[in-house]
Amino acid sequence: MGDLAENVKDELNKFQDRTKIPITTILALIAFILLPGKITNLGKLGTLIKAIASAVEAVVKKNSRTFTPRQSTINLFNEFIGGHDFPYKKKYNTITWYYNANMPKIGGTSDQSAGAITFEDRIYFGSRPKCTVENIASMFHEYVHT
């Protein structure tokens, strides 16, 4: 377990050096990811995490543009969701989709950016998704996060 803890610590330090985001902020974001439904019950920590998430979203949203998925894509989503027991079946007209978002870098020393990220009912893509099976799968993956 000691080696794993050291590796995690090293990766967090590298991330902090690369992004200038303090490790405490990173850990708060991890808590946000793990406990999204409990944010309102976390008191001051919940307020802090929401503020951090809003600041991150402001950076991601910069230069982004809204778009509406094709009706054929929405129909595929509805068909799949209708046939499965999802705990929350939101309507697509409550989601705002964006493209050209400033996506964060992912993984170690990689220069690769995340393809998409979701904040509540807002989904951001680095580029406008074309209507391919892979992109529809990615769009659905982000939809599930809402």
Please answer whether residues 69 and 97 qualify as being in contact, where contact means their C-beta atoms are separated by less than 8 angstroms. yes
The structure tokens listed for 130 are 């074309």
- CA-nearest of 126, 78, 74, 138 to 101 is 126
List of residues 6+ apart from 30 with CB closer than 8 A: none
pLDDT value, residue 1 = 45
The pLDDT tens digits of the residues spanning 50-73 come to 777 788 888 889 899 999 888 888
Q: Are strands 96-99 and 65-67 parallel, antiparallel or unpaired?
A: antiparallel
Q: What is the pTM of this model?
A: 0.62
DSSP 3-state assignment of 67?
A: strand
According to DSSP, the residues that pair with 125 across neighbouring strands are: 116
Q: What does the domain layout of the chain look like in residue ranges?
A: 1-61, 63-146
pLDDT value, residue 65 = 94
Q: What is the spatial distance between Cα 27 and Cα 8, in angstroms, rounded to a whole number?
A: 12
Q: pLDDT tens per residue, the chain (146 residues)?
A: 456 667 777 777 787 787 777 777 777 666 666 665 555 555 666 677 777 778 888 888 989 999 988 888 888 877 777 766 665 565 666 788 999 988 876 654 556 667 888 888 888 998 888 878 788 888 888 887 77
According to DSSP, the residues that pair with 122 across neighbouring strands are: 96, 119
Q: What is the spatial distance between Cα 11 and Cα 133, in angstroms, rounded to a whole number?
A: 33
